[in-house]
């Protein structure tokens, strides 16, 4: 088993172990000895695959288990689903000492975390991520959210979970494209600040992902401990995301988040080289790495459209945008840039002029 200890405003462990799902109940019960009831939150796909195993494990540890299941997909990450979940928690009579167990990908994790942070002004949330992205990113660090029609993740809280359990065996049922999405986030940690991880990724980790997941979680832990509330260093986690969000939006979300981040990382690296901010080996290395994990590398959109879409982000303010740019292999930095220079930067990075 790999364990990563996180010491943010709340301390907790991320445990990574093949075949650990049936031990979920004993882990939750030992962390929360006063809990009598658990709300097991899942989406419809994950509930069908792993809901029964998780429920049994919680029941056998002495917890009364309630289930809340919603349709899979980002379209469910809404205030409406959140409100239905709040009502389900109240109807089940969960008290301050009870807990939510979030079994699923980032959508389940973000929604459950938000519900737990706000129901009765805060109950415990235990995360059981079932996608690679959720294991290496969204289940750790305490960002919770729902989407609004005006944009993604516009309502949420910073609320750390009480614990995280990753069972990499559940990744075997992930559709290939969703696995590849998670690989983009794994690769991202290497270029942000971990040259050793880049070496580990030279050989595909997909058959035995435990150590790579632990390494990514440790990277995320370091950033979150340095800047839990996202005022500085945590923005490094957005490598590839300025271009990536623009690509997602321009493709009307037919290009997935991970695919868009992959293209966005390469744009950032090539643009940084063109501006003399990065060593030229980085984009070459990155291109091979992304292709090794079946991720796309070509930007299908023009620089002006990309800049316009990137600047439409409702959370951005003012005349400057902070880009995350690779500086050398295994190191990235935050670089403020006037918004008027963004189209030129994307063109330098390989978007069509």
Give residues in contact with ligand NAD (CB under 6 A).
Answer: 43, 45-46, 49, 72-74, 77, 104-108, 110, 130-131, 133-134, 137-138, 141, 143, 152-153, 170-171, 173-174, 178, 181
Residue 137 lies near ligand GLY (rule: CB under 6 A): yes
Please say which residue, 203 or 253, places its beta carbon nearer to ligand GLY: 253
DSSP code of 351?
Answer: S
Binding partner selected for residue 72 from ligand NAD, ligand GLY, none, CB under the kind-specific 5 to 8 Å limit:
ligand NAD
φ/ψ of 323, rounded to 5, equals -95, 150
Binding partner selected for residue 190 from ligand NAD, ligand GLY, none, CB under the kind-specific 5 to 8 Å limit:
none
**Which residues lie closer than 8 Å to 239 by C-beta, 6 or more apart?**
188, 191, 192, 265, 268, 324, 326, 332
The number of CA neighbours under 13 Å toward the Cβ of 96 is 3
Binding partner selected for residue 173 from ligand GLY, ligand NAD, none, CB under the kind-specific 5 to 8 Å limit:
ligand NAD
Please say which residue, 106 or 350, places its beta carbon nearer to ligand NAD: 106
Alpha-carbon span 211 to 1, nearest angstrom: 9
Alpha-carbon span 64 to 217, nearest angstrom: 31
Q: Which residues of 198-237 are buried (b: 16+ CB within 10 A; e: fewer)?
A: beebeeebeeebbebbbbbbbbbbbbbeeebeeeeebbbb
Please say which residue, 160 or 332, places its beta carbon nearer to ligand NAD: 160
Residue 228 lies near ligand GLY (rule: CB under 6 A): no
* Closest residue to ligand NAD in the complex (CB): 106
- Give Cα separations from 269 to 184, 226, 343 (angstroms): 15, 24, 15
DSSP per-residue letters across 287-302: HHHHHHTT------SB
Token pair for residue 211? Answer: 């150590």
Binding partner selected for residue 127 from ligand NAD, ligand GLY, none, CB under the kind-specific 5 to 8 Å limit:
none
Please say which residue, 35 or 186, places its beta carbon nearer to ligand GLY: 186
Please say which residue, 106 or 296, places its beta carbon nearer to ligand GLY: 106
Q: Of the listed pieces 33-41, 70-78, 137-145, 281-289, which binds ligand GLY according to CB under 6 A?
A: 137-145
DSSP per-residue letters across 47-93: IIIIIHHHHHHHHHTT-EEEEEEE-SSGGG-SHHHHHHHHHHHHHHT
Please say which residue, 112 or 332, places its beta carbon nearer to ligand NAD: 112
Residue 264 lies near ligand GLY (rule: CB under 6 A): no
Binding partner selected for residue 234 from ligand NAD, ligand GLY, none, CB under the kind-specific 5 to 8 Å limit:
ligand GLY
Binding site for ligand GLY (CB under 6 A): 137, 141, 143, 230, 234, 237
């Amino acid at each position: 088993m790999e364990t990563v200890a996180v010491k943010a405003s709340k301390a907790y462990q991320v445990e990574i172990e093949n075949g650990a799902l049936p031990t979920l109940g004993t882990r939750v019960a030992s962390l929360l000895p006063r809990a009598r009831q658990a709300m097991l939150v899942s989406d419809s796909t994950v509930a069908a695959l792993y809901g029964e195993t998780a429920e049994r494990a919680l029941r056998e540890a002495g917890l009364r288990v309630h289930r809340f299941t919603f349709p899979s997909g980002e379209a469910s990450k809404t205030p409406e689903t959140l409100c239905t979940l709040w009502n389900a928690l109240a109807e089940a009579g969960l008290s301050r000492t009870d807990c939510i167990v979030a079994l699923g990908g980032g959508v389940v994790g973000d929604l459950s975390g938000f519900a737990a942070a706000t129901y009765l002004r805060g109950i415990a949330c235990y995360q059981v991520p079932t996608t690679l992205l959720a294991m290496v990113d969204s289940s750790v660090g305490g960002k919770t959210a729902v989407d609004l029609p005006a944009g993604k993740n516009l309502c949420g809280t910073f609320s750390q979970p009480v614990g995280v359990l990753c069972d990499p065996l559940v990744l075997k049922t992930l559709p290939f494209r969703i696995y590849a999405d998670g690989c983009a986030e794994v690769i991202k940690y290497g270029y942000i600040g971990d040259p050793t991880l880049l070496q580990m990724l030279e050989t595909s980790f997909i058959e035995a992902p435990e150590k790579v997941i632990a390494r990514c979680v440790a990277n995320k832990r370091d950033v979150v401990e340095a800047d839990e509330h996202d005022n500085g260093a945590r923005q490094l986690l957005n490598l590839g995301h300025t271009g990536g969000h623009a690509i997602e939006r321009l493709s009307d979300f037919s290009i997935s988040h991970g695919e868009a981040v992959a293209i966005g990382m390469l744009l950032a690296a090539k643009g940084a080289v063109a501006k003399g901010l990065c060593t030229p080996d980085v984009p070459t290395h990155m291109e091979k790495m992304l292709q090794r994990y079946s991720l796309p590398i070509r930007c299908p959109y023009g620089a002006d459209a990309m800049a316009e879409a990137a600047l439409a982000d409702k959370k951005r303010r003012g005349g400057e945008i902070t880009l995350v740019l690779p500086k050398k292999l295994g190191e990235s930095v935050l670089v403020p840039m006037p918004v008027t220079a963004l189209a030129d930067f994307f063109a330098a990075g390989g978007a069509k002029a």
